[in-house]
Structures are given as C-alpha cells and as structure tokens.
Amino acid sequence: MVLLSTSAIPRRGVLTLVALLLVALNLRPALTSVSPVLGNIGEALALSPSWQGILTTLPVLFLGLAAPLAPRLVRRIGPERSVFAALVVLAVALLARPYIGTLGLFLGTAIAGGCIGIIGVLLPGIVKRDFPRRVSIMTGLYTVALNLGASAAAGTTEPLRQLLDGAWQGASQGASYSPWQGALAFWLLPAVIAALCWLPQLKDTKPTRVPVRRGARLRHDPLAWQVSLFMGLQSSLAYIVFGWLPTILQDRGLAAVTAGLALSVSILLQVSTAILAPWIGSRMRDQRTVLIGVMTLTLTGLLGCLYAPIDSIWLWIVVLGLGQGGTFSMALTLLALRAPDATTAASLSAMAQGIGYTLAALGPLLVGVLHDWSGDWNVVGFLVSVLGLGALVMALGAGRARQVASTQGTD
C-alpha cells in the first residue's frame, strides 16, 4: 500500500509543521480523558467493571480496525482531505458521546477511536513526504505533541469535572446532565482548532493512487509480524495505563485529582525518552539493547504502581513514564528502520498499526474482566507481566538489524 504520492502536494514548511503538530495533539485525548472520570461514568450509567473495560477497549480496537480504511480514503479524496474529514468526525463524536446515553457513549467512543486510527496511519506518510530530510526530528516532534495532548487530557479532565460540578450545583440543581459529560465534551475544542488550522492544507489536493495489494507479501514475512506484535503488546500496556491507572490508584488510596495527575505526569515524562531512545537506537548496530531497556522500565514501573507501597508511587510513575515513552517511539522507529524504502515503510506501518492496535485492545478489556471476576487488582499484575514478557520476546526479533521484503513493484 502506498499511502501518499511524493508529488501529490507542494511542501508548505512552517504552516504544515504547525498543522501537523496540532493534529497530533488530538490523537490521545479521546482515550486519556475517560480514565480520570471512569468511576463517575460507571456510577452514573450503572456500568460494571467489565463494561467499563469494554469502554476503555473500544477506541483502541477501532484504532486497529479503521487503519485499513486510510488507503481507501486516500484513493478517493487524497491524504489531506482524509485527515480533515477524520478531524471533523472526531469533533462530532466527542461532542455527542457524553450526551446520548449509554449506547451513544460506546458508539461515540468507537467512532473517535476509528478517526484517530485513520489519522495515525496518514500522518507519518505526510511527514515523510513533506520533510524527507528531517523525518527523525519530525517524528520526535510528532510524538511529543501526541504525548502532550494525552497528558493534558489525563491531568485536567477530573479538575474540569470538579469545576463544572460546582457550577452545576450552584446553577442547575436537578438537571439531567452531569459534570463528567461536560468534562469529556470539552476535548472537542482541540479537534475543532486543529481542523481549522488544517484547512490551508486542502488547497489543490487530489486523490492519490493507492495500489491495493502492495502490502500483501508482508503478511508472510516473520520480521514484519515481530514488528507488528511488538507494536501491539507494548500498546496494550500503554492503553491499560491510559484506561485504568487512575482507577487503580484511586482504589489504592489516592484522591481522584492526584490519580489523574499521576497519569498526566507519567505521560509527560514520556517526552524525554520518546526523543532519546530512537536517537540512541539509530546509532547502534541493532536496537535490541534499547528495546529491552525501555520494556524493562515499563514493566517495572507498572508492577510498582500495582504492588509497591503507595507512599512510593511517584517513583514508579517516573519509571513507568520513562519506559513507555521509549517503547512507543521505538515501535514507530522500527517501522522506518525495518523497511528498505518509503513504499514498504507505509505498508509496514499500516500492517503494524492495524494488527497491533487490534491486539492492544485486549489489554484494557481483560483488565476489566479480571477485576470484575476477582474483585481486586492483584491478578492484573499477572496480565501485565505476560504482556511485558511477550513484548520482550518480540523485541529480540524485531530489534535485529534486518529488513522486511520490499513491497515495491508487487501490484
């Protein structure tokens, strides 16, 4: 699959950079804004932990399921218009999902995840096309923007809910709406701003020819599967953190605002290793050492959050953030390092994100099911250990200095 034509649109320099970063800011708030108010949602809508697990799973699942739609949209309307359409639908979904009942909440969350999945497939290709000599720098900036959006939503949604709660009590007693609804709907604003700033990118865009079967041979390549499974397993741990960490920490005794802040700090700390890990890894003979290092930090931090004394929680939050920043950025870096050309990199990206995010959706779901079954969080430690060890095994294969088979000329 070739997602973007190198001659489809002229480069736009600074305006393109700003627009890309604003779009990247919107790739996680739809997910990380839910976990700080998950308890409020569950209480208001009478959702069991299993159903709460499904709610945190849906956006991740649709990240993967929607990824194959990106090339089809590009063929019809071009990459820029595809990003714009996804931003508009994302904003509508974020506005509607808190206010149209339980079914609407689940449906809106799924649609939001699908929009993010489409944008996530398209942006790396746009970066490679418009900034061909600055791919590593742009990938780092893109990852930083993504983390900042995730951190902002995780850290401010609960304070915003409390602020709205005070306004609700003073002005609208007896109203059928709840403060958590307004706190969730707030995150449509960054999507609207990004869509407006993206408008200049639509000038003179055209549909792009995308051969349908160019990525088929990758599904027979063991290295492509190792890269995809590493993407999926590390993402599963990330979305467990996004979806459940504040709830876990609240049950361990932290206040709701503090628990949301802990997730926000953890995500914010990812910025450092999101830049540092690929810089180190790209200068080594292979990437196995870096991958093992960041995965070990991730697993250690997660287990510390689950089992260590709550007084030491900030230590484990730091370890977790440093680990997960490196695992995510290295997963993205592998997509470029393991591909011999830009065409193959686009195909590998679509495969890894489609398969990886679909697999990753199982993590948050299983956390809810296991918690519902056991009544506590102890068994979750077993789950994250299995996922972490699986990611380590895949890292040993994906980190080798090899490349997947080229997909150029395989129409």
At 352-371, the pLDDT tens digits run: 888 888 888 888 888 888 88
What gap in Å lies between CA 363 and CA 360, rounded to an integer?
6
At 247-273, the pLDDT tens digits run: 899 999 999 889 888 988 998 898 888
Q: Identify which has the larger pLDDT, 402 or 211.
A: 402
The Cβ of residue 137 has, within 10 Å, a number of other Cβ atoms equal to 12
Q: Identify which has the larger pLDDT, 194 or 341.
A: 194
User: Which among 36-45, 148-157, 311-320 has the top mean pLDDT?
Assistant: 311-320
Question: Does residue 226 have a pLDDT over 90?
Answer: yes
What gap in Å lies between CA 90 and CA 108, rounded to an integer?
9
Q: What is the pTM of this model?
A: 0.77
pLDDT band at 229 (very low <50, low <70, confident <90, very high): very high
Question: Does residue 62 have a pLDDT over 60?
Answer: yes
What integer is the mean pLDDT of 50-71?
84
What gap in Å lies between CA 24 and CA 141, rounded to an integer?
9
pLDDT band at 340 (very low <50, low <70, confident <90, very high): confident
Predicted local distance difference test score (pLDDT) of residue 357: 83
Close Cβ partners of 63 (under 8 Å, ≥ 6 residues apart): 113, 114, 116, 117, 120, 353, 357, 358, 360, 361
pLDDT band at 277 (very low <50, low <70, confident <90, very high): confident
Q: What is the DSSP code string of 364-387? A: HHHHHHHHHHHSSSHHHHHHHHHH
pLDDT band at 4 (very low <50, low <70, confident <90, very high): very low
Predicted local distance difference test score (pLDDT) of residue 1: 39
Predicted local distance difference test score (pLDDT) of residue 10: 43
* pLDDT, averaged across the chain: 84
Q: Is 100 helix (H, G, I), strand (E, B) or coil?
A: coil
Question: Does residue 176 have a pLDDT over 70?
Answer: no
At 10-27, the pLDDT tens digits run: 445 778 888 999 999 999
Close Cβ partners of 16 (under 8 Å, ≥ 6 residues apart): 126, 130, 201
Question: Does residue 350 have a pLDDT over 60?
Answer: yes
